[in-house]
Amino acid sequence: MEKRVDIRHIGNLIRIARKMAGLSQMELAEKLGISYQQVQKYEKGLSEISLSRLSQIAHALNTPINRFISDDEKMMVSESMSLYGILSDDEIELLRFFRKIKNKKLKAEFLMVMKNISELSEKGLSKKAKS
Protein backbone atom coordinates (compact mmCIF):
# COMPACT_ATOMS: atom_id res chain seq x y z
CA MET A 1 0.00 0.00 0.00
CA GLU A 2 1.26 3.38 -0.88
CA LYS A 3 2.45 5.85 1.67
CA ARG A 4 -0.10 8.55 2.00
CA VAL A 5 1.91 11.00 3.99
CA ASP A 6 5.01 12.73 2.77
CA ILE A 7 7.38 12.38 5.61
CA ARG A 8 9.81 14.89 4.20
CA HIS A 9 7.09 17.44 3.91
CA ILE A 10 6.22 17.02 7.55
CA GLY A 11 9.86 17.45 8.35
CA ASN A 12 9.81 20.79 6.63
CA LEU A 13 6.77 21.86 8.57
CA ILE A 14 8.46 20.92 11.79
CA ARG A 15 11.54 22.86 10.89
CA ILE A 16 9.55 25.92 10.01
CA ALA A 17 7.49 25.70 13.17
CA ARG A 18 10.64 25.30 15.20
CA LYS A 19 12.24 28.36 13.72
CA MET A 20 9.09 30.33 14.14
CA ALA A 21 9.25 29.43 17.79
CA GLY A 22 12.82 30.66 17.83
CA LEU A 23 14.32 27.39 18.98
CA SER A 24 17.45 25.62 17.84
CA GLN A 25 17.48 21.91 17.13
CA MET A 26 19.27 21.46 20.41
CA GLU A 27 16.70 23.34 22.40
CA LEU A 28 13.85 21.43 20.87
CA ALA A 29 15.69 18.17 21.39
CA GLU A 30 16.15 18.98 25.03
CA LYS A 31 12.46 19.60 25.45
CA LEU A 32 11.76 16.26 23.86
CA GLY A 33 14.41 14.47 25.84
CA ILE A 34 16.26 13.19 22.79
CA SER A 35 19.41 14.10 20.89
CA TYR A 36 19.37 17.01 18.49
CA GLN A 37 20.63 14.65 15.84
CA GLN A 38 17.37 12.83 16.06
CA VAL A 39 15.50 16.08 15.62
CA GLN A 40 17.55 16.55 12.47
CA LYS A 41 16.33 13.23 11.17
CA TYR A 42 12.76 14.25 11.71
CA GLU A 43 13.29 17.50 9.87
CA LYS A 44 15.19 15.92 7.02
CA GLY A 45 12.67 13.15 6.67
CA LEU A 46 15.19 10.45 7.54
CA SER A 47 13.19 9.03 10.39
CA GLU A 48 9.58 8.17 10.83
CA ILE A 49 7.67 10.13 13.43
CA SER A 50 5.37 8.38 15.81
CA LEU A 51 2.16 9.95 16.96
CA SER A 52 3.39 10.37 20.49
CA ARG A 53 6.47 12.10 19.23
CA LEU A 54 4.62 14.39 16.92
CA SER A 55 2.32 15.25 19.75
CA GLN A 56 5.28 16.15 21.94
CA ILE A 57 6.76 18.24 19.19
CA ALA A 58 3.51 20.09 18.61
CA HIS A 59 3.28 20.81 22.29
CA ALA A 60 6.87 21.95 22.56
CA LEU A 61 6.30 24.35 19.70
CA ASN A 62 2.93 25.61 20.89
CA THR A 63 1.37 24.39 17.70
CA PRO A 64 -1.75 22.34 17.18
CA ILE A 65 -0.82 18.90 16.02
CA ASN A 66 -3.18 19.19 13.08
CA ARG A 67 -0.80 21.64 11.57
CA PHE A 68 1.47 18.77 10.69
CA ILE A 69 -0.92 16.23 9.34
CA SER A 70 -3.82 17.89 7.59
CA ASP A 71 -3.30 16.01 4.40
CA ASP A 72 -5.63 17.96 2.23
CA GLU A 73 -3.90 20.86 0.73
CA LYS A 74 -6.15 23.56 1.96
CA MET A 75 -2.97 24.71 3.52
CA MET A 76 -2.39 26.68 0.41
CA VAL A 77 -2.11 30.11 1.76
CA SER A 78 -2.21 32.23 -1.31
CA GLU A 79 -1.22 32.00 -4.87
CA SER A 80 1.39 34.58 -4.26
CA MET A 81 3.41 31.99 -2.48
CA SER A 82 4.27 29.50 -5.09
CA LEU A 83 5.29 26.43 -3.22
CA TYR A 84 3.10 26.58 -0.20
CA GLY A 85 4.87 26.37 3.08
CA ILE A 86 8.34 26.46 1.74
CA LEU A 87 9.67 29.56 3.28
CA SER A 88 13.33 30.37 3.35
CA ASP A 89 15.10 30.95 6.60
CA ASP A 90 15.17 34.65 5.94
CA GLU A 91 11.48 34.71 5.30
CA ILE A 92 10.71 32.80 8.42
CA GLU A 93 12.76 35.22 10.44
CA LEU A 94 11.15 38.16 8.75
CA LEU A 95 7.75 36.85 9.72
CA ARG A 96 8.79 36.04 13.21
CA PHE A 97 10.00 39.55 13.81
CA PHE A 98 7.05 41.07 12.08
CA ARG A 99 4.72 39.23 14.38
CA LYS A 100 6.53 40.48 17.42
CA ILE A 101 5.63 44.02 16.57
CA LYS A 102 2.41 44.74 18.33
CA ASN A 103 1.87 48.31 17.29
CA LYS A 104 -0.42 48.22 14.29
CA LYS A 105 0.61 51.58 12.94
CA LEU A 106 4.23 50.63 13.10
CA LYS A 107 3.51 47.45 11.21
CA ALA A 108 1.63 49.30 8.52
CA GLU A 109 4.40 51.81 8.09
CA PHE A 110 6.93 49.12 7.98
CA LEU A 111 5.02 47.42 5.24
CA MET A 112 4.96 50.63 3.22
CA VAL A 113 8.67 51.06 3.52
CA MET A 114 9.13 47.52 2.40
CA LYS A 115 6.87 48.08 -0.54
CA ASN A 116 8.71 51.16 -1.71
CA ILE A 117 12.05 49.54 -1.38
CA SER A 118 10.94 46.52 -3.30
CA GLU A 119 9.63 48.72 -6.09
CA LEU A 120 12.90 50.51 -6.34
CA SER A 121 14.72 47.26 -6.30
CA GLU A 122 12.56 46.15 -9.16
CA LYS A 123 13.74 49.00 -11.35
CA GLY A 124 17.20 47.55 -11.45
CA LEU A 125 18.77 49.47 -8.70
CA SER A 126 20.11 46.40 -7.06
CA LYS A 127 23.65 46.90 -8.18
CA LYS A 128 24.57 50.34 -7.00
CA ALA A 129 23.17 50.06 -3.50
CA LYS A 130 26.55 49.94 -1.95
CA SER A 131 28.96 52.67 -1.11
Partner DNA sequence: CTATTTTTACTACTTTTAGTTGTATTTGTC
Partner DNA sequence: GACAAATACAACTAAAAGTAGTAAAAATAG
Site for DNA in 6-35 (CB under 7 A): 19, 24-27, 33-35
Closest CA to 42 of 57, 22, 27: 57
Applying CB under 7 A, which part among 45-53, 58-66, 74-82, 97-105 lies near DNA?
45-53
Residue closer to a second copy by CB (options 31, 40) is: 31
> Binding residue for DNA (CB under 7 A) from 53, 65, 84, 110?
53
Based on the shown chain and the rule CB under 7 A, indicate whether residue 48 belongs to the binding site for DNA.
yes
Q: Give me the least distance between CB of 43 and a second copy, in Å please.
A: 14
Sign of CA dihedral 68, 72, 76, 82: positive
CA distance 80 to 86: 12
CB of 84 to DNA, least distance (A): 16
Decide: is 47 part of the binding site for DNA (CB under 7 A): yes
Minimum CB separation of residue 53 from a second copy in Å reads 8
Pick between residue 36 and residue 84 the one whose CB is nearest to DNA: 36
Long-range contacts of 45-49 (CB under 8 A, 24+ apart): 45/6, 45/7, 45/8, 45/9, 45/10, 45/11, 48/7, 49/7, 49/10
In angstroms, rounded to a whole number, what is the distance separating the alpha carbons of residues 29 and 32?
5
